[in-house]
A and B are shown apart, each in its own frame.
Chain A
């Protein structure tokens, strides 16, 4: 199984400041088609997860452009250029390179 490791576990942020979350995989998520099979999700308090980024760096429909995904192979980063209060919640990375699909342990973003 591919193990997904996120850091930090918790991230206190100041509104208007940038934030960054790291996700590392135990095997490469880069397919020979050139895509990295890594998605990012946000689970806001009391809600279902929502897709933010797919295939490493593509914003899902309706996702604000302050969210961006980058990385390749085994190292990935989700960045929020300017955090807003509505961005609080738990962020998960997930690999879909192979089954079993696996999630990271989550990063809790909270406002300072």
Chain B
């Protein structure tokens, strides 16, 4: 059974760096084709893809946020970490991590609400 869970601060100040951790079980990020992605959702708005890391350490980023995002994996801990620098109030929202294969994002975490405010 695949599960994912996001963790990190619920409140960050503008200009600070956000670090979110996705801890997963039920799959390995050394398995051919496996990936973990981050998707966010501002309150009341649509989903937005942020970043993706694959089993072979291939990393993809949203171009509009690429300069502020870093995604890494720790296969020994079954974790994927997303760092986002220079946070702004417009970055407030729920951040999800999700397991990805060629069959889509088939398992999602519960999400974590991050508020950016001074």
Residues of A within 8 A of B (CB): 1, 39, 41, 43, 48-51, 54-55, 58, 60-61, 92, 94, 96, 99-106
Main secondary structure of the interface of B (DSSP, over half): strand
Residues of B within 8 A of A (CB): 37, 39, 46-49, 52, 60-64, 96, 98, 102-106, 108-111
Give Cα A73–Cα B104 distance, bound, in whole angstroms.
18
Q: How close is A24's CB to chain B, nearest CB, in angstroms? A: 16
Residue of chain A at shortest CB distance from B66: A100
Q: How many residue pairs at the A-B interface have CB separations less than 8 Å?
A: 64
Q: How close is A10's CB to chain B, nearest CB, in angstroms? A: 14
The reply to whether A49 and B49 form a contact with Cβ atoms under 8 Å apart is: no
Q: Jot down 25 A-B pairs with beta carbons below 8 A, ordered by A.
A: A1-B63, A39-B104, A39-B105, A41-B105, A48-B109, A49-B39, A49-B108, A54-B102, A54-B103, A55-B103, A55-B104, A61-B106, A92-B46, A92-B47, A94-B47, A94-B105, A96-B104, A99-B52, A99-B60, A99-B61, A100-B62, A100-B63, A100-B64, A103-B48, A105-B46
The 8 closest A-B pairs by CB, nearest first: A54-B104, A39-B104, A101-B49, A48-B108, A99-B60, A54-B103, A103-B47, A51-B104
The reply to whether A103 and B49 form a contact with Cβ atoms under 8 Å apart is: yes
Given contacts A49-B98, A51-B105, 14 further A-B contacts (CB under 8 A): A1-B63, A41-B47, A43-B47, A49-B105, A55-B104, A92-B46, A92-B47, A94-B49, A99-B61, A100-B60, A100-B62, A101-B37, A103-B47, A104-B46
Residue of chain B at shortest CB distance from A37: B102
Give Cα A39–Cα B106 distance, bound, in whole angstroms.
10
Q: How close is B51's CB to chain A, nearest CB, in angstroms? A: 10
Residue of chain B at shortest CB distance from A38: B104
Give Cα A94–Cα B37 distance, bound, in whole angstroms.
13
Q: How close is A111's CB to chain B, nearest CB, in angstroms? A: 20
